[in-house]
Amino acid sequence: MIRAIGRTLARRQSTHERAIPELGFGSGRTFRPPVRRIDAGLAVPDGEHMDAPFERDTGHAIPVEPDVRPWGTAPDPLELRRREIFTLAAPVFRARGYRGATIKALAHACHLSPAGLYHYFDSKADLATYIVRQPHLEWRTVHVDPAVDPLVQLRGIIDLAIRELPDFLLALDMAEELEVPGMARFRRGLFAEGEAVIGRYIAAVRPGMTPEAARDLAGLVLALLIGSHEIGDGVPAAVATTRERIIRVLRAELVPIAVESARFDRAMAAN
């Protein structure tokens, strides 16, 4: 059933497949973002102060969850900066679409000059599809920290997924707008990664659960996340309701089989 939900939610793959050389799509090679040895400091647009408000700025950088690190190592600072830039550029893409978002507007939203933006990304298409072109985690590569309560790590990954999902769906939509080949594969890969990561933390909380059962439960969590995004538009009230629904689903499967009620509630309490 979970797989069927994923297939229903996945968008129809474009029938027009073309190569995009600057992205490595359709070129027969694997894309790897270039790492440049440069000093690319922030450039404040139009002589404004760095703290000055700008259109559609939320005032927040990329969120960090100190209790969960599924990659097992500290992320590369350059990749963190690129991810932050995408987060800041996302409102412009949402408001104007890929075609309508100009480099000038994107750079302004990121507190960069257009030249500064090109220090991090080769093109607008490179920026628009950046987060869906990153290596995917699998069940065996997901890191569960033995020094941190797995319930706390599960809560952290749920909260991170709630915040990050809209950006991933946006990047997928723009890749589709660009007619990038293999969109069905990209979507399957992202959803499979979500099932693997969330499922791995679920299994850490309930060690007796099989990987298949943990993935199925994680798939239900993803279905709740995606459904809330489609109908709730990411507003705070919808986010809070989605989190409550996910916690109820997890509670039904983990309490009292794997963890006592009071401990579960303490670990899952929203910060």
Nearest-angstrom CA–CA distance, 150 and 41: 38
Where b means 16+ CB within 10 Å and e means fewer, 172-196 reads: bbbbbbbbbbebeebbeebbbbbbb
* Tokens describing residue 136: 């995917």
Q: What angle do CA 175, 215, 160 make, to 5 degrees?
A: 55
Per-residue pLDDT of the chain (271 residues; tens, 9 = 90+): 433 333 333 333 333 333 333 344 433 333 333 333 323 333 333 333 323 332 333 333 333 344 578 888 877 899 999 999 999 999 999 999 999 999 999 999 999 999 999 999 999 999 999 988 888 899 999 999 999 999 999 999 999 999 888 898 899 999 999 998 888 887 888 889 999 999 999 999 999 999 999 999 999 999 998 886 554 444 455 778 899 999 999 999 999 999 999 999 999 987 6
What's the predicted TM-score (pTM) here?
0.70
Domains of the chain in sequence order: 2-10+40-268 (1.10.357)
What is residue 26's DSSP assignment?
Answer: T
Are 149 and 46 spatial neighbours (Cβ–Cβ below 8 Å)? no
For 204-250, the DSSP string reads: HHSTTS-HHHHHHHHHHHHHHHHHHHHHHTT-HHHHHHHHHHHHHHH
